[in-house]
Amino acid sequence: MINSGSRLKFRYVRQIAIIPVLILGIISCSLSAEPDRPPGDSELYTATASLGVDDATPTVFIEPSVTPYVSPSATPNPPTAITHPTSTQTGMVDPSAAALFLRDRSTVSTPRAASGPTSILFVSKRDGVADIYRMNEDGTEQVRLNHNGRNNESPAWAPDGQKIAFLSHEVDATASKSTSRLFVMNSDGTGSIDITPFLDQSFESLNWSPDGQRIAFVANPSPADEAFAGRNIHVVNRDGSGLTQITNMEPGSVGCWSPTWSPDGAKLVFICRALMGVGIMVSDVDRSDQWYIEYGQVNRIFWLPSGVHVGFAGGVCWSVGILTAEFLLSHGASGEGPWPCLDQDFEALGVEMTSPYGVAWSPLVDTLFAVLTTDNFQIVDLAAFEVSVFHYGSNRLNDSPSWSPRGDRVVFAADDGTDTEIYVLSLESNEVVQLTDNEVDDYMPAWQP
């Protein structure tokens, strides 16, 4: 997931005709003392700690300004509704036992009361490197939050919407071949903290705990030049203390990935693969108990909104499957329910399943989720047993979509044939609005909780 660079800029001082030698001397002294940093960089903290030490004492570097820098290219053309062919398909056969089981046991969660309009994070290369930007949910007021000379990607909101975690990679290096850093910053881009300066590996994904105090992430030994590098799951407090390695996969194995937290924050569920066996692993966060359930080539895990079900992509299912949390938490001894695959339902609804990473569940109900394919965007409603399909004529849709906290809109990135832009779909109006419009890629959208 990841890319590029920055350079320091010297402030040009306008020469005055009077006493030119004196002024040139002042300029020379100023340049040699300390060059200015790029406008808009926030406070940067580097937590100093060693592997296995629970407490980290931050070393503080104060930037000249903590006000996020608005890039000259940040304001796009006004967001406009765009017309794309849309169709609704209803299943002509009965739902599968798995779909009925999920529908009968599903409950609707109450959306968190928002204090006001929410923001959307995204990544853009409009200033030469990948940086994190924030915009209003209607696409206005696009503001760059960071610019540190590295490729900053994978922004993730803390559950309370006040902190942002992101991954930062070396310029001109892919995520799998570079040394990464995990940063946490305030929602306005200030107070950026490097919470993993002591872990010299490359990172691939991250996930906040439900209480917003810890972050689970995937780390590869660096450099990770091969598939069998041995990825491991780690957990760290958001201030950089308490680093814990959850798994111990050695080089020669693919390792573990896709960590997701149980609703109470006490357990992690993720996927592990050794040489041949692939399955789902459950671990207490303190590592006091870990167990493994072999389930085929699972690609991604989701803990669903009710907390009763866990969804997965791939594995024994070519589409999406559902397990009960009881089955996982009881070491597979009880609560599995019927055959978990939704393959029959996907086939009946005509849903294409080409990327296991392009799935995102509604934050409110277990029976509603979004699916990105190579050329369309689909909202699958198992309660109504129908799917809404939005066609783009694109040969590529990117990243996982992100739902609004009220579950009525979905933001996603799509390639329009020239570059990748950010769009939002309203489930109420079936209207798609393009939020960004640049000649470079905008991607990895994340809606504020």
- Tell me the average pLDDT across 121-127: 94
The confidence score (pLDDT) of residue 84 equals: 59
- From the number of C-beta atoms within 10 Å of its C-beta (0-12, 13-18, 19+), residue 245 rates as middle
Range with the poorest average pLDDT among 73-77, 249-253, 376-380 = 73-77
pLDDT of residue 204: 85
Question: Quick one: what percent of the chain has pLDDT higher than 90?
Answer: 35
| CA dist list (Å): 427 to 112, 163, 321, 408 | 19, 28, 24, 6
**pLDDT band at residue 161 under the 50/70/90 scheme:** very high
pLDDT bucket at 429, cuts 50 / 70 / 90: confident
Lowest mean pLDDT among 118-132, 136-150, 161-175, 299-313: 161-175
Per-residue pLDDT of 196-208, as tens digits, reads: 988 888 888 899 9
Q: With bands split at pLDDT 50, 70 and 90, how would you rate the model's confidence at 399?
A: confident
pTM of the model: 0.79
The pLDDT tens digits of the residues spanning 49-64 come to 333 333 333 333 323 2
**pLDDT value at position 218?**
94
Q: Which of 104-118, 129-143, 421-435 has the lowest mean pLDDT?
A: 104-118
pLDDT over threshold 80, residue 17:
no
> Is the pLDDT at 68 greater than 70, yes or no?
no
Mean pLDDT of 346-351: 85
- Of residues 218 and 116, more confidence is placed in 218
Average pLDDT over residues 418-445: 90
pLDDT, residue 318, reads 81
What is the average per-residue pLDDT within 279-307?
87
Give the Cβ contact number of residue 20 at 10 Å.
10
Taking alpha carbons only, the member of 397, 425, 403 closest to residue 82 is 425
User: Does 71 or 332 have the greater pLDDT score?
Assistant: 332
Query: Does residue 80 or residue 391 have the better pLDDT?
Result: 391
- What SS3 string covers the chain? CCCCCCCCCCCCCCCCCCCHHHHHHHHHHHHHHCCCCCCCCCCEEEEECCCCCCCCEEEEECCCCCCCCCCCCCCCCCCEEECCCEEEEECCCCCCHHHHHHHHHCCCCCCCCCCCCCEEEEEECCCCCCEEEEEECCCCCCEECCCCCCEEEEEEECCCCCEEEEEEECCCCCHHHCCEEEEEEECCCCCEEECCCCCCEEEEEEEECCCCCEEEEEEEECCCCCCCCCEEEEEEECCCCCCEECCCCCECECEEEEEEECCCCCEEEEEEECCCCEEEEEEECCCCCEEEEECCCEEEEEECCCCCEEEEEECCCCCEEEEEHHHHHCCCCCCCCCCCECHHHHHHHCCCCCCCCCEEECCCCCCEEEEECCCEEEEEECCCCEEEEEECCCCCEEEEEEECCCCCEEEEEEECCCCEEEEEEECCCCCEEECCCCCCCEEEEEECC
Share of the chain above pLDDT 70, in %: 71
> What is the model's pLDDT at position 81?
58
Mean pLDDT of 84-97: 76
Confidence of residue 253 (pLDDT cuts 50, 70, 90): confident
Query: Please, are residues 381 and 370 in contact by the beta-carbon 8 Å criterion?
Result: no
pLDDT of residue 393: 57
Higher pLDDT, 222 or 169: 169
pLDDT above 90 for 336: no
